[in-house]
Structure 1
Amino acid sequence: MLIVISPAKSLDFETKPKTKEYTLPELLGESEELVEVLKQMSPDHLSELMGISKDLGELNFQRFQTWQLPFTPENAKQAVLAFSGEVFRGLDASSLPVKTLKLAQKKLRILSGLYGVLKPLDLIQPYRLEMGTKMKYGKSKSLYEFWNPQLSEKVREAVEESGSDVLINLASNEYFKSIDTKILRKEIVTPEFRDMKNGHYKIIAVYAKKRVA
């Protein structure tokens, strides 16, 4: 069984990682191509492209300017420890033993607008680039077009390497759309976490994210 989740907008690059174990993203060459385009954009252009504030546009402008290869533990951090949104706070990867983190390497993937697909211990540098961003590059009119089919193929391979033909989809619709199910050709299970509110069961995002973790 393989589980896929979305990344988080909030990041923690200040806290020192509790493990020295790391791997590198498999699609880092494609990430570099995107960053080279993003480096040419002004803070205002980034704000407009991503639908974010001017302050966040400036922050991410600086992030892309300083993004560089090669990734090392000195200039990057493991993805599962760097993301700090609700799902990742619930996962609390920093409290997990190395043995469990190594198991997660086989059973968990994080979908990403900049990195395509990440293993938990893959190093990343700070960024913000949501999968739904309508960023044009070459013949691609969006990140969905850019990442297909290589992202889907990597996920398919990861499902097979997990020892099962089942994919558990815990990602948001925005991110799961990046996977071409025709390429995947696996059984997909997409749980829904609903809470009773005013007499009806509804998906309440903050609670649903906690249950994902």
Structure 2
Amino acid sequence: MITVLSPAKKLSTECSSNGSAYTKPVFLDHSENLVEILRSFDPIGLQSLMGISENLSELNWERFQNWTSDFSPDISRQAVYSFKGDTYTGLDADNLSEKDIIFAQDKVRILSGLYGVLKPLD
């Protein structure tokens, strides 16, 4: 059985990777194409397109301007540690054992509007 988690609007403010294990999102090439399109919008356009608040549209505009598909432990963080909504608070990923993370990598998927479907270590 696969458990599917919805994404959260709130993301971790820490940018560094949590541990050395990571995987590459399957649809990363599509993410690059999507970001190129989204970069053409101003914050007001993003607000209208995405149906989000002004503050969130400005935050996302900044994220799209700075986004890169290149992985570096200094600027990347695995999906399971990135989201900070209610579901992820309950998941408490920061306190999962290595065995739990390995299990989750096989059995958990996280939906993402930008990346499609993510494994926890993507």
**2-side partners of 1:115 and 1:18: how far apart?**
19
Runs of 4+ off more than 3 Å = 15-18
Q: Is 1:12–1:83's contact at 8 Å kept on the other side of the alignment?
A: yes
User: Which position in structure 1 is the counterpart of 2:119?
Assistant: 119
Aligned length: 122
- What amino acid is aligned across from residue 96 of structure 2 in structure 1? L
Name the amino acid aligned to 2:12. Answer: D
Segments of structure 2 that go 5 or more residues without pairing to the other structure are: none
Letter of the aligned partner of 1:108 in structure 2?
V
Provide the residue aligned with 1:88 in structure 2. Answer: 88
Q: Which residue of 2 aligns with 1:62?
A: 62
Q: Which residue of 2 aligns with 1:188?
A: none
Letter in 1 for 2:52: I
Cα displacement (A) at 1:19: 2.0
Corresponding residue for residue 149 of structure 1? none
State the SS of the aligned residue for 1:77. coil
For residues 20 and 6 of structure 1, the distance between their equivalents in structure 2, rounded to whole angstroms, comes to 25
1:28/1:41 CA distance change after superposition, 3 Å: same
1:105 aligns with 2:89: no
Change (3 A) 1:16 1:75: closer
CA–CA separation in structure 2 for the residues paired with 1:36 and 1:84 = 26
Q: Which structure has more strand as a fraction of its residues?
A: 1
Following TM superposition, by how much is the alpha carbon of 1:5 offset from its aligned partner in structure 2, in angstroms? 1.3
Shift of residue 85, structure 1, vs aligned partner: 0.4
Deviations 1:106-150 (A, max 9, x none): 00001111111000010xxxxxxxxxxxxxxxxxxxxxxxxxxxx
CA contact (8 A) 2:28 2:69 kept: no
CA RMSD in angstroms, aligned pairs only: 1.4
For the residue of structure 2 that corresponds to 1:111, the secondary structure is: strand
Q: Which runs of 5+ in 1 are unaligned?
A: 123-213
> Distance between the aligned counterparts of 2:2 and 2:73, measured in 1?
26
TM-score, with structure 2 as normaliser: 0.93
Contact 2:112–2:118 (8 Å) recurs in 1:
yes
Q: Is the 1:13–1:77 contact (alpha carbons within 8 Å) kept by the matching residues of 2?
A: no
Q: Which has the larger radius of gyration?
A: 1
TM-score of the superposed pair, with normalisation by structure 1: 0.55
Check whether the contact 1:47–1:54 (CA below 8 A) recurs between aligned residues. yes
Q: Within 1, Cα distance between the matches of 2:18 and 2:49?
A: 35
Residue 4 of structure 1 is matched in structure 2 by: 4
Q: Name the % identity.
A: 52
CA shift, 1:69, in A, is 2.1
Cα distance in 1 for residues equivalent to 2:19 and 2:109: 19
